[in-house]
Chain A
């Protein structure tokens, strides 16, 4: 699909066709048809309302698919007046990775889903439309044809609403079916010039069937049956049968064959486009290629030609004549097909780009071993024609690798497992290594960079991967997953421990109903009013600030799905998770748009976005946790954060969280705190009854704690700090102690007050006393000497020399051998390293000043005990 990206770079002029229809309600003019004229080319693309179109996205290989609902002119838009309203379809790869499993099966090649998600912005710039595409609606019982000669045909069978996949509703299905009738028309104008034009009269459903047939025929290596079909379908069959293997070397030939069927048309288009391509465009990695032996071979495949035509404008006309030629002789000789095998065909490679696949070098290396299997799979799933099925294959391989990895002792390789997106560099490197052709200079340099492991691979073995040009995708790494599933809790205590863990998210947050309601109302009102605002939330640690805000956002997201409130975008940043305050811009920008930029640049972009953007944008809710860490000398970060919401266009709601109530007054300049406004909320520390309620709600229906015990811990923590985390931790520790103490299996231990008391003691009691009690004789006598010296001088500080003389005297009194200076110094340092003493750092001489870090009474008490 290289041509999408190329295409996008060519200048295109969009113009309306037909008379405008004035829509009185919407105050703008609507159109039925739009024509896209590619500069320097006579071809014109006509796009009708109701057609399926490809829309430019951030992924050039997988442009968005949508159904055109409306074309209109919007005067209010400054830059692009031509707008379009669309109904989106979603590709499998666009479904969030975590939800992909909901499909319950492997997605078929080129399967797309009706995107039933009203929150998605359906108003787009008409000039982002790339071109028409064919979409075939399939009834739920229909099988998606796996044989796809035409890469441009997509199939829709299910709808996706961000939560689940569901079959298309009958009326929707009928509507889509109806649309298919007229859809191919759009291609007519383009294909008019090629000889292998397909007639549009055949319905796609028919075509699909024919294609399946043709695949059978081709795999059996016999001429295509000449069914009396519509010209278009017949043409297709011819193509496939011509391009399909005649040689026994099925794999190779198949690889070639999958490239050829669609090549002519593409070539055509490519040629047409490349005519107008400006030379500067050639710097694009896939556009430029140095001549290769394969290319010079007389029997060039259409695929290669396609590339070469992109390379050389002047060749275009010649290429065009050649477009059909290669299909016939291409695979007649094994030699050539070998060559072909070494040239990973671009279309295929590009096609396999799906976020769910990660290829790390190690995995690729392993794949070599798997090669036969992989190939089998590849053949069976016909991955060559479809990007998605090839992906599937990769997924399968990946799974097998995971299994393999288990048996291998050296499992380092799979420390890292495939995650959501492919890191740029690895995919690039991979692509480089796969391509034996001399590449563009940039490609060559990248080749040098690629590791030796990669370059050792034979090209045919590497999967067809696509680089993502320009779109910066950062890697989303993850810790490798465990081989053995984590055990589930077996006993009551274990269950209780699990529920008491701070990370366990309760269904509701008890005792914060009022705060929840306040924040909810605030954000909801801003959403409904489509305005922005700031809110400052304060409270000591462990009072549920962040949890409450998360709860609010969850509630609002549900409300947004139910269309109660307008959809919004939620972003969260944490001051503690930043290395320095200005990084907040980078994070916000990245979460907002996926772009990566430096802090300064990101600040500019964000300012531009929040100050100037138009009305189509949805509201953004930004949570800034640990606000106090965003403090800078100039306070520019805070200023910006609170300034953006004041702009009408921004529609930004900023929720800020910090610990101290008076933070705005204390550290902020007036102009910053003024912008923050007076919407403040303070989370009080939990009282004992609240803590009791929290514990009760967590331990619902679980008899692990005595009621007294819960009350005890609630009161204890409420008296100490009111930190819910502490409360939960104490209880968790108490379950440990309980389990530990009642060793008899079978007896369901109940956590009692005694256990909790022990846990509390362990956590809060100062260890100084025990430390002193357990210190050595000389250490104790040194402490005594310090006390004596303090008493003598009346000061709380003494030099080592003074203490030493006291120490010597004490030792003499107690009949201990004379302590040398070095020994005593060692004792002093030992006490200092425990912080029982405070000593000057890096000064170990007589003049070292010594202070006690514990109260004198505590030392006396500890020393008296024994």
Chain B
């Protein structure tokens, strides 16, 4: 397996490409040349299916380790939908832990119940979109299709909207009104609205004999209850569903396999079989496991796994039809790359010199802020010592380089730049860590040896 990969990596050329194609035709029992074409079609299908899986929150994927929470949620929603019992619940979990997927799954299952599907209204709100209660109210009115009640007058003033909506919800009762499920994404942002009017009213409805509602809040903040005002908090039922990504590495590996496998209904059965076999091999491969373990260590977030797989998938072409361990490794490298160090790679030698000077200043003055003049002096000292190897730039040129570093946000002024302040004496801080600088210098192409030496020690002239 690995040997094959190795070969493929080494002979990554057009001729190899043709060869593989030819071999493939031979393998698939010498059908026709069109098989090659079919093959690329297959690949584009694979790309489409998997990308859809990674990018969209498809509802077909299984739930991993959240069955208990799911049961809790679906029972709650069912009781609202069927018995007209008002409820409120918060789904709490870190980003990428599948909160939205959970509620979407639950809603999908709920809507499949015959007696429910026609009886339930849904209102989806997002704290990032509905940034104040007025907008949220309008959105609720729109989603409840109440706006036709008063024709074009509905979106009147905020106060009118509120009383309008409250009245609408007040009219109902448990047994006869259509239950409404409110889904508040980024729930914590709603808690920042003025007086928490919307939340108060939603929870108040859920605790009084009005139209049955289920208020489902999704948030990643663990301290969400502390954000609620005491009256709002009292009206909230305190039901919380925690999603914690509480799976271990073996399960992570299983998820990886499941996410990459092709479904049984893939048109080309033969290809799907091969692909899945390859995935199975990958999951057993040691280097792949290492990559995954590393990724798992950083974050249990499934979204980051998707990102990794997506990057690896992008390397799959008709010339390179199966994913390899190397693909995953490269993808992982891309994912964990240090962005600041990458910027350093693109700097000029002068700019690198300035950064090294700053590093020394930081060492000497123990993280105290510096200004341009200090950096320039430090640089001058170095230039004077190594006049033969380093070109002595004019001060304005150095200044320009310094400003460029500021624009790249590798250094940052301590306070806001005022117009009359002299730029040379403005205090700055370096936004790079020593280790970052050293690592970047290692990889910096064509770095003068003197500069490299100077970087390792400010006393190198001794």
Q: Which residues of A contact B (CB under 8 A)?
A: 360-362, 406, 411-412, 415-416, 419, 423-426, 429, 449, 451, 474-489, 494, 497-498, 501-505, 540-542, 576-580, 583, 586-587, 626, 629, 659, 723, 725-726, 729-730, 732-733, 736, 740, 762-764, 766-768, 770-771, 774-779, 801, 804-805, 808, 816-817, 819-823, 826-827, 830, 833-836, 845-847, 853
Contacts and interface: CB of A to CB of B under 8 A. Distances in A.
Contact of A834 (B163, B221, B409): B221
Given A476-B171, A486-B176, A725-B207, 16 more contacts: A415-B146, A423-B150, A423-B151, A476-B167, A480-B178, A483-B119, A486-B175, A503-B210, A579-B197, A725-B235, A726-B234, A767-B222, A771-B222, A821-B433, A833-B221, A845-B409
Interface string B156-190: 00110011101111011011111110000000000
Contacts of A723: 234
Contacts of B443: none
Give the 6 A-B CB pairs with smallest separation, nearest first.
Answer: A541-B234, A478-B171, A415-B145, A486-B84, A774-B244, A820-B338
Given A504-B209, A578-B159, A494 B299 contact: no
A411 B119 CA distance: 11
B85 A767 contact: no
Given A820-B336, A821-B341, A830 B94 contact: yes
Contact of A763 (B150, B238, B299, B340): B238
A736 B208 CA distance: 20
B450 to A, nearest CB: 27
Interface string B389-404: 0000000000000000
A330 to B, nearest CB: 36
A423 B152 CA distance: 11
Nearest to B297: A777
Interface in B283-327: 294, 296-301
Nearest to B171: A478
A481 B167 contact: no
A576 B75 contact: no
Given A541-B233, A578-B159, A836 B222 contact: yes
Contact of B148 (A362, A764, A771): A362
Nearest to B239: A733
A376 B231 CA distance: 56
Contacts of B409: 845
Most chain B CB within a 10 A radius of its CB, from A480, A486, A540, A830: A486
Contacts of A740: 71-72, 75
B86 A501 contact: yes
23 contacts: A416-B145, A425-B151, A426-B151, A475-B164, A477-B149, A479-B177, A480-B178, A481-B176, A481-B178, A486-B82, A489-B83, A504-B209, A577-B163, A586-B159, A725-B235, A767-B222, A778-B297, A817-B294, A821-B436, A822-B340, A833-B220, A846-B429, A846-B432
Given A416-B148, A479-B211, A822-B340, A726 B238 contact: yes
A426 B150 contact: yes
Interface of B: 71-72, 75-76, 79, 82-86, 92, 94-95, 115, 118-119, 121, 133-134, 144-146, 148-153, 158-159, 162-164, 166-169, 171-172, 174-180, 195, 197, 200-201, 204, 207-212, 220-223, 230-231, 233-235, 237-240, 242, 244-246, 294, 296-301, 336-341, 367, 409, 412, 429-433, 435-436
Nearest to A726: B238
Contacts of B341: 820-821
A543 to B, nearest CB: 9
B83 A579 contact: no
A629 B75 CA distance: 36
B172 A478 contact: yes
B16 to A, nearest CB: 32
A846 B433 contact: yes
B242 to A, nearest CB: 5
A822 B433 CA distance: 12
B171 A827 contact: no
Contacts of B172: 478-479, 481
A514 B382 CA distance: 88
Most chain B CB within a 10 A radius of its CB, from A361, A498, A502, A817: A502
Contacts, number: 264
A280 B118 CA distance: 53
Contacts of B153: 423, 425
A548 B339 CA distance: 62
B171 A505 contact: no
Contact of A503 (B115, B209, B301, B432): B209
Contact of B177 (A478, A774, A817, A847): A478
Contacts of B166: 577
A479 B119 contact: no
B150 A475 contact: yes
Nearest to A723: B234
A214 B95 CA distance: 79
Contacts of A827: 298-299
Nearest to A429: B151
Contacts of A416: 145-146, 148-149
A767 B224 CA distance: 11
A729 B238 contact: yes
Contacts of B294: 817
Contact of A498 (B85, B210, B337): B85
Nearest to B208: A503
A74 to B, nearest CB: 38
Contacts of B174: 486, 503
A360 B336 contact: no
B147 to A, nearest CB: 9
A482 B119 contact: yes
Contacts of A729: 237-239
A360 B167 CA distance: 18
A360 B148 contact: yes
A822 B300 contact: no
A483 B298 contact: no
Given A477-B168, A483-B119, A725-B207, A579 B152 contact: no
Contacts of B207: 501-503, 725
Contacts of A846: 429-433
Contacts of B221: 833-835
B373 to A, nearest CB: 22
Contact of B94 (A361, A423, A771, A801): A771
A822 B304 CA distance: 14
Nearest to B299: A776
Given A415-B144, A823-B336, A479 B151 contact: no
Contacts of A767: 92, 222, 240, 242
B201 A845 contact: no
A833 B168 contact: no
A541 B118 contact: no
A751 to B, nearest CB: 16
A578 B133 CA distance: 11
B252 to A, nearest CB: 10
A486 B83 contact: yes
A659 B231 contact: yes
A503 B84 contact: no
B336 A822 contact: yes
A666 to B, nearest CB: 16
B213 to A, nearest CB: 9
A487 B75 contact: no
A449 B197 contact: no
Contact of A576 (B115, B200, B238, B297): B200
A259 B73 CA distance: 61
A513 to B, nearest CB: 23
B249 to A, nearest CB: 10
B433 A804 contact: yes
Contacts of B133: 579
A736 B83 CA distance: 14
A771 B244 contact: yes
Nearest to B204: A576
Contacts of A498: 83, 85
B223 A479 contact: no
A822 B163 CA distance: 49
